Amino acid sequence: MFNREPNIDVLFRNGLKDMEVLPPSDVWDNIPPLPVKRSPLRIITGIAAGVAAVASLAVLASWYTRSNNATADRLPELAIVSGSQQAVRVRGTETPPVTTRADITTPVNETISMPAERNREEALTVPDNQPLHLLAQAEMTPVKAKDDNPVSFSPEDVTIIASGYFSDSDDLKKENIILSADENAPQRFMVGASLSPAMGFTMPGQDPGVNELENGESGRSSYTTGLTFGYKISDRLTIHSGIGLASIGQTITDIDVFAGLSDFYSVKSNYLYTVQTASGLILAGNTDLYLADSRNRVASLVSGNMNDPSKYNLPQVGSDIRQVFRYLELPLMLRYKLIDRKVGLNLTGGVAYGFLVDNMAFTGQGSDLVRIGHTEGVSSHNFSSQLGLGMEYNTSSNVSFNFEPVFKYYVTPLSQITGSPYKPYSLGLFSGFFFKF
Amino acid sequence: MQKEKDIIQGCLSGSRRDQELLYRRYAPKLYAVCLQYAGNTEEARDVLQEGFIKIFENLSRYSHEGSFEGWMRRIIVNTALERYRNRYYLSRVDDIDEVGEPEAEPDTDDFAGLEAYDLLNMIMELPPKYRMVFNLYAIEGYSHKEIGEMLGISEGTSKSNLSRARVILQKKVALLTGVTRRMVNV
């Protein structure tokens, strides 16, 4: 007739209420100090200092690059084999800048609601005058715990401080609290390494000459690798910076390269050949090479009647030319946790400043690579932006792995050739691991 | 004795001494809660450690409304549940024959002679999924619907697990009190 609460429930609830058991002594030693709550002003100041540091590094690097770049001298008498000089576009595969992830852990936001108030049961009297040895003789079937440790809980193992009844407290109201299960809130700093392969794409341009040049080129595999540092602003938002190396470039196909020309021909010039590409003009500073092209992209100082490699019996060292541009990138990224679990989902976005540190063209196969020269007209610095959405896997509270498809777009053109503001975009896969502390 | 509010404020200010004071004051009671949910002392220690870390991390969110001990207890329980969810799955329902039919509910007089740590031991010996449901329903007072949401099980599973937990505990209590009564009467 009446919904009476089972006595077994009452027994355990009242019997365990206010029970106290002395915890192991090493637990407190493993609890880290509570960090001092940082004021928003300190956070803003920290971010401003980071931005200032990145900007300072960029200015220094730009100054260093400009002071070491060789100035290209045009050939005084350039005989164009065929074709005409036209505005060119840079086509290259782009790689996303180095980004770092946010934190770790398996934070779960949960709502815990207190139970509805229930009727107070009469307190169950548990006499405490029973001899302990009587309880020790109880025939209870031992049950092994999952880790095979015996579950038995004899009086010698614990120190009972107090035990008594459990009854509803008026203070235990039903309320909702949002818990941030982020175990790593104290771990606001992180370092990591990353590798991001990518493929670049370009929009078809208006210039037919550039389009024709691009038809004779193919994208090279590109990548970005580097070190990243991050600071956790809040439970879900992290700011990242770092330093990385991005390698992009393309392959100019159907150009035969022969070595040994210097034994038969020499000029008083730093360059013997030029190759017109969508990225700029390759100046072949290696005067030992002979270049031959069927698409009228090569210009040379070598006179027409000597423009035949068979006359010199030169060995061929390559059938294409590979352009490689390496940028040192300083990214500034924000990472926001959309799903904060052991396997989480992150949204990243930000900008990166890159400055050119290496510009070379080479040919050959495997370990037999022959340097040809460098490409003129490539921008010495650039700004790019990127957006990514990917997965984060927290292997522990300190280590996590990230895999994020990233879309990258260059805000500033990669080529300085007048009339060819080339701004490529790329799709890559950012992969990295991070250590939080 | 230092007031609770002052201790909390000291913790937020970064005082390690106040943090330890807070820990020493509430750890014994919360450790008993950890033992209820963990099933063994090692797991209980991890739950206590992890739970206190979360308590300190979220201390600034305590609104000073309601019992501070109750607030901490909820964090400890949530920590235990989180660890449990990462390790166990509740999809399988045990065969009812393994548990047996429920016996007639014992009278309150039959509980004479039981000590608190006996009760704790019995709960710790329960299979994990029975232990969780029994703790949440009988001790914490959650409804089956709430338990289902917290553990990712259906209400029916929660009810059946609770029923089986009670059967097991009743048998253990009967076994223990029966021995005790016989010895007392000797």
Q: How far apart are CA A295 and CA A212, in angstroms?
A: 10
pTM: 0.43
Return the residue of A nearest to B179 by Cα.
Answer: A138
pLDDT exceeds cutoff 70 at A251? yes
Lowest-confidence pick of A56-60, A127-131, A225-229, A422-426:
A127-131
Lowest-confidence pick of A209-213, A311-315, B181-185:
B181-185
Q: Which of A154-168, B100-114, B146-160 has the highest mean pLDDT?
A: B146-160
| Residue at B9: amino acid letter | Q
Comparing CA positions, the residue from A92, A278, A89 lying closest to residue A200 is A92
Distance, C-alpha B150 to centroid of its chain: 14
pLDDT exceeds cutoff 60 at A78? no
pLDDT exceeds cutoff 80 at A323? yes
pLDDT exceeds cutoff 70 at B144? yes
The fraction of chain A above a pLDDT of 90, given in percent, is 9
pLDDT of residue A396: 83
| Residue at A31: amino acid letter | I
Comparing CA positions, the residue from A374, A69, A340, A333 lying closest to residue A226 is A333
pLDDT of residue A242: 92
pLDDT of residue B105: 52
Of B16, B82, B179, the CB nearest to A138: B179
Q: How far apart are CA B57 and CA A186, in angstroms?
A: 8
Lowest-confidence pick of A42-46, A315-319, A432-436:
A42-46
| A116 vs A391, residue with greater confidence | A391
pLDDT of residue B35: 94
Report residue A184 as tokens: 């790593």
Q: How far apart are CA A274 and CA A269, in angstroms?
A: 12
pLDDT of residue A265: 64
DSSP tag of A234: S
pLDDT exceeds cutoff 60 at A109? no
Q: Please give, rounded to a whole number of angstroms, the shortest distance from the CA of B116 to a CA of chain A.
A: 6
**Inter-residue contact A21 to A159 (CB < 8 Å):** yes
Which band of pLDDT confidence, cut at 50, 70 and 90, is reported for residue A7?
confident
Name residues 372-411 of chain A within 8 A of B (Cβ). Answer: none
- Asked if the Cβ–Cβ distance from B166 to A8 is below 8 Å, we say yes
Report residue B80 as tokens: 């235990």
| A310 vs A298, residue with greater confidence | A298
Of B67, B120, B123, the CB nearest to A172: B67
**Inter-residue contact A265 to A291 (CB < 8 Å):** no
**Inter-residue contact A336 to A346 (CB < 8 Å):** yes
**Inter-residue contact B52 to B43 (CB < 8 Å):** no
| B118 vs B101, residue with greater confidence | B118
pLDDT of residue A1: 40
Q: How far apart are CA A121 and CA B141, in angstroms?
A: 13
β-pairing, A316-318 vs A321-339, is unpaired
The Cβ-side half-sphere exposure at A21, using a 13 Å CA radius, reads: 26
Give the number of A-B residue pairs with CB atoms closer than 8 Å: 233
Residues 6+ apart with CB under 8 A from A56: none
**Inter-residue contact A409 to A385 (CB < 8 Å):** yes
Report residue A292 as tokens: 């031959």
pLDDT of residue A77: 42
SS3 A96: coil
Average pLDDT, chain B: 83
pLDDT of residue A180: 44
- Asked if the Cβ–Cβ distance from A15 to B114 is below 8 Å, we say yes
- Asked if the Cβ–Cβ distance from A124 to B66 is below 8 Å, we say no
CA R_g for chain A: 35
Which band of pLDDT confidence, cut at 50, 70 and 90, is reported for residue B146?
very high
pLDDT exceeds cutoff 90 at B176? no
pLDDT of residue B142: 93
A186 touches B at CB < 8 Å? yes
pLDDT exceeds cutoff 60 at B34? yes
List, for residues A383-409, the tens digit of each pLDDT value.
Answer: 888 899 989 888 888 888 888 888 888
pLDDT exceeds cutoff 90 at A135? no
DSSP tag of A150: B
DSSP tag of B108: G
Comparing CA positions, the residue from B113, B171, B106 lying closest to residue A137 is B113
pLDDT of residue B69: 92
Mean pLDDT of A111-134: 46
Name residues 30-69 of chain A within 8 A of B (Cβ). Answer: 30-37
Q: What are the φ/ψ torsions at residue A394 (nearest 5 degrees)? A: -95, 105
Of B16, B20, B179, the CB nearest to A137: B179
Mean pLDDT of A209-222: 74
Q: How far apart are CA B20 and CA A105, in angstroms?
A: 25
Mean pLDDT of A81-103: 41
pLDDT exceeds cutoff 70 at B127? yes
Report residue A309 as tokens: 């490699």
Average pLDDT, chain A: 70
Report residue B103 as tokens: 């016996």
Q: How far apart are CA A307 and CA A301, in angstroms?
A: 10
The fraction of chain A above a pLDDT of 70, given in percent, is 55
List, for residues A332-381, the tens digit of each pLDDT value.
Answer: 999 998 888 888 899 999 999 998 898 889 888 777 788 888 888 788 88
Q: How far apart are CA A101 and CA A190, in angstroms?
A: 9
Of B82, B105, B122, the CB nearest to A7: B105
**Inter-residue contact B110 to B177 (CB < 8 Å):** yes
DSSP tag of A300: E
Per-residue exposure over B168-179, b if at least 16 CB sit within 10 Å of its own CB, e if not: bbbbbbeebbeb
Q: How far apart are CA A48 and CA B161, in angstroms?
A: 56
DSSP tag of A314: P
Mean pLDDT of A162-170: 46
